[in-house]
Structure 1
Amino acid sequence: MTDEQAGVCAPEVKAADEDVGAAFGAFMNQFEAFKDENEQRLDELKNRGAEDVVTREKLDRISKSMDAQQRLIDELVLKRARPAIGGATSAQMLERKEAFERYVRRGDENDLRTIEAKAMSYGSDPDGGFLVPDEIDTEIGRRLSSLSPIRSIATVRQVSGAVLKKPFAVSGMAVGWVGETAARPQTNTAQLAELSFPTMELYAMPAATASLLEDSAVDIEAWIASEVEIAFAEQESAAFIAGDGVNKPRGLLDYDTVAETAWTWDSIGTVATGSAGALDADAPSDVLIDTIYALKAGYRQNASFVMNRKTQAAIRKIKDADGNYIWQPPATAGARAALMGFPVVEAEDMPDIEADATPIAFGDFRRGYMIVDRTGVRILRDPYSAKPYVLFYTTKRVGGGVQDFDAIKLVKFSA
């Protein structure tokens, strides 16, 4: 099979007429090419004890092409599914929207001050910016859910204060069996832990020219949402995975880890591969099976694998004892790839495979990880600091952390 047949010679992966179906078809063709090349690599290992360098390089090129095609599919699906901002709105919402647009375009804040004074909004702060209209706030939240992988699978709570405190029954609720008329004896006291999720400030500062703001054809709301979404999503994604909790959310990899056989509350259990920096050579998929069943049945029902693309590329090459690939492509465009029947979530901030690293997480992240959003996104217009450009200091407050340590397990590449 030639490189052209494998779809790896083109400098940029494109779909005909940006059609999702065509892009997905190209992805599946590349996966078939990947399997053919990997079969050749496995035959070389079996017959000669070593893989051919040309075969290895070709396999890597196809794998990178698959990643690029998957990113294109994700972008096309998101573009197709994205609704227009606005739509039916009440007179009050329309009034606020128009006042906000006058503030952004011309710096006229009088109407916006009047509206927020009428509403007695807890979040309005004329000296520190104005809350954006609900349409922009919702659109930014929706896009962040699509762009930030952990946000898309974790529990998200909206709060009006600076901290969310949540009691958690570590040992479960205190219960007991009794007869209909029998006395109710006192049960053992439940062991409770108070989990605290403070919100931290996240900001972006997009810049605009005067001509852009004066152009009435430009949808200023869509522009602001598109400018801040990538910046917010990248910072959030990194923090939800590896944040240290100092002026940012605490990531799932920042907590203490312990071997699953010695697991205790306040730590995340790990399952070792048996080989430092690598999977076991004879049975590479066994550690994944052990990790899946280290999770209790109630958590496994909604569990997902989380890893970056490099780790996923290594997992793609693994076959089970029956010769079937343990990684399977998405069944439809927009769906997730599957690993042993569980969806795979790509998070580029997960570490690469190396000695003692934990590049694979598995669990029910809806129950395991909590994201806290303080209501409202605020914008402060600054036409002075970077003349002739106008800066828009956009802030939101976000927190996060593990809420159930029993719901997430990590694969540790160690002996």
Structure 2
Amino acid sequence: MTTLKIRELKVKRSKLSAQATAIMQKATDENRAMEGDEETQFDSIMEERDALDSTITKAERLLEDDRRGIDDIPDDGRPGNRNVEAQMTAWNAYLRDGRPGLNAEHARALNAGNDPEGGFLVAPEQFVQELLQNVDDMTPIRGLATVHRLTTAESLGIPTREEDLDDAEWTSEVGTGSQDDGLRFGKRELRPHPLAKRVLVSRKLLRSSSMNPEQIVRERMAYRHATAQENGFMTGNGSQRALGLFTVGNADLGGITTARDVDVPTSGTGFVHNATDGYAADALITAKYTLKGAYHAKAHWLFHRLILAEIRKIKDANGQYIWKAGLGDQPDTILEIPHILSEFAPSTMANNDYIGMLGDFSFYHIVDALQFEVQRLIELYATTNQIGFIGRAECDGMPVMEEPFVRLQSNDTVA
């Protein structure tokens, strides 16, 4: 897709945003909520606009991939670039034909001399970098989190401030103030845990001259690893896996405790907007200002798409919608703060369910072990004319402080 076509899609997206805003504004001007037909039309417009968002994001990523493909290996004849090309040529031969497809030159390029038949092969760095880039594109948390790459150490300790000093004291010119021993530091340890996924690719597809086997395997591996990691970043219990944002933390586990929870009035299936039971908009305002102002510049709301569909229709006590459609390249906002979506964020609104979060996600730390191994399964899927690939990586993640996060919890006020 060309840059011009992407620009045209963005214009169409802006028009849809304007249409959705007009429907909301009409209801606001008439001091009422959207009616049934309006809600149906609004939802239809937003579904189309969300689909455009996805198309635009993918198209921009492909253009960026093309650009990196040109820039990463310039045709200048340098030995380092020839080595990268040799590695990728050998890697594609391995993906397509297995060890029998590797000649002596390929083996040297991949340092695969001791790799047994049917065993594991460490992927070239370029393959790993592209894999991680795909994972970043598919998991919103990765795009905002602080990501560390480990090459030798088994774990990474993150120093955190557990207790702070009191304020400075007004004193005389020669005074030094009283001694304060309140400053305390702790350390959260991030240890990459094994993560594996198996994907199947038809032999015909791998051998097709028009298809790049490296791209096929990389994209499928990236998707499967991304979904597993995203699930852990949301709800992982911290035992041999990531510690999730929606997992209740404690003194031993770390993470985000219930002290950072804010109740939002719900009816079990939707948000409440009345004077008797409360206004959901007021609860979201409370959540926004529970988060210190220093975090607002980088903060995002985090929701499942089903929860966001309901939030888009919330009004405050003055009858104003709190969701605003972004125009052009500007993001949609809720109370002037942009949002991200995750399919693995909570999606139900029963009493005490977590329904979303506000936070500066740079305080969620992810650690990756760079070595990524692929095992090629030759015989196991022979009856279906497929080749199996098992990809193995190591990853961990957790919030290193709880102060930059506020969780939203459903409070079924009309149960």
For structure 2, list consecutive stretches of 5 or more residues without a partner in the other structure.
75-79
CA spacing shift, 1:400–1:256, aligned 2, 3 Å: same
The offset of 1:45, in angstroms, is: 7.9
Say whether residues 1:396 and 2:388 are aligned partners. no
**Alignment-mate amino acid for residue 81 of structure 1:** E
Corresponding position of 1:287: 283
CA deviation map 1:357-405 (0-9, x unaligned): 22121011102x1111111211112212111322221111111111111
Within 5 Å, give how 1:161-310 maps onto structure 2: 161-172=153-164, 187-188=180-181, 190-256=183-249, 267-268=257-258, 269-275=260-266, 277=268, 278-282=271-275, 283-310=279-306
> Secondary structure of 2:371's match?
coil
> Secondary structure of 2:39's match?
helix
The offset of 1:332, in angstroms, is: 3.0
TM-score by length of structure 2 reads 0.80
> Secondary structure of 2:365's match?
strand
Within 5 Å, give how 1:62-77 maps onto structure 2: 62-77=45-60
Say whether residues 1:327 and 2:323 are aligned partners. yes
> Secondary structure of 1:392's match?
strand
CA spacing shift, 1:16–1:95, aligned 2, 3 Å: closer
> Bigger CA drift: 174-183 or 155-164?
174-183
Corresponding position of 1:10: none
The offset of 1:164, in angstroms, is: 2.3
Say whether residues 1:30 and 2:25 are aligned partners. no
2:164/2:182 contact within 8 Å kept? no
Between the aligned partners of 2:314 and 2:198, the Cα distance in structure 1 is 44
Within 5 Å, give how 1:127-166 maps onto structure 2: 128-160=119-151, 161-166=153-158
Corresponding position of 1:382: 377
Between the aligned partners of 2:191 and 2:299, the Cα distance in structure 1 is 26
Within 5 Å, give how 1:74-153 maps onto structure 2: 74-83=57-66, 84-85=68-69, 86-88=72-74, 89-108=80-99, 114=108, 128-153=119-144
1:204/1:231 contact within 8 Å kept? yes
CA deviation map 1:331-364 (0-9, x unaligned): 434x532222211111122222513222121011
CA deviation map 1:36-75 (0-9, x unaligned): 44456568884xxx87544433333333233223222322
The offset of 1:79, in angstroms, is: 2.6
**Alignment-mate amino acid for residue 326 of structure 1:** I
1:19/1:76 contact within 8 Å kept? no
CA spacing shift, 1:76–1:104, aligned 2, 3 Å: closer
The offset of 1:94, in angstroms, is: 3.0
Sequence identity (%): 19
**Alignment-mate amino acid for residue 304 of structure 1:** H
2:193/2:241 contact within 8 Å kept? yes
2:18/2:327 contact within 8 Å kept? no
The offset of 1:305, in angstroms, is: 0.8
Between the aligned partners of 1:32 and 1:231, the Cα distance in structure 2 is 36
CA spacing shift, 1:72–1:90, aligned 2, 3 Å: closer
1:207/1:389 contact within 8 Å kept? yes
The offset of 1:105, in angstroms, is: 2.4
Between the aligned partners of 2:199 and 2:347, the Cα distance in structure 1 is 32
Corresponding position of 1:316: 312
Between the aligned partners of 1:32 and 1:362, the Cα distance in structure 2 is 26
1:353/1:413 contact within 8 Å kept? no
The offset of 1:408, in angstroms, is: 0.5
2:23/2:38 contact within 8 Å kept? yes
CA spacing shift, 1:55–1:301, aligned 2, 3 Å: closer
2:20/2:46 contact within 8 Å kept? yes
**Alignment-mate amino acid for residue 267 of structure 1:** T
Between the aligned partners of 1:208 and 1:265, the Cα distance in structure 2 is 39
1:41/1:56 contact within 8 Å kept? no
**Alignment-mate amino acid for residue 363 of structure 1:** G
**Alignment-mate amino acid for residue 8 of structure 2:** A
Between the aligned partners of 2:165 and 2:149, the Cα distance in structure 1 is 26
> Bigger CA drift: 50-59 or 178-187?
178-187
Between the aligned partners of 2:160 and 2:62, the Cα distance in structure 1 is 39
Between the aligned partners of 1:53 and 1:266, the Cα distance in structure 2 is 39
CA deviation map 1:232-269 (0-9, x unaligned): 22222221111222343121101249xxxxxx985150
> Secondary structure of 1:273's match?
strand
CA deviation map 1:58-104 (0-9, x unaligned): 33333323322322232223233333545235333333333323322
Between the aligned partners of 1:163 and 1:204, the Cα distance in structure 2 is 22
For structure 1, list consecutive stretches of 5 or more residues without a partner in the other structure.
1-14, 258-263
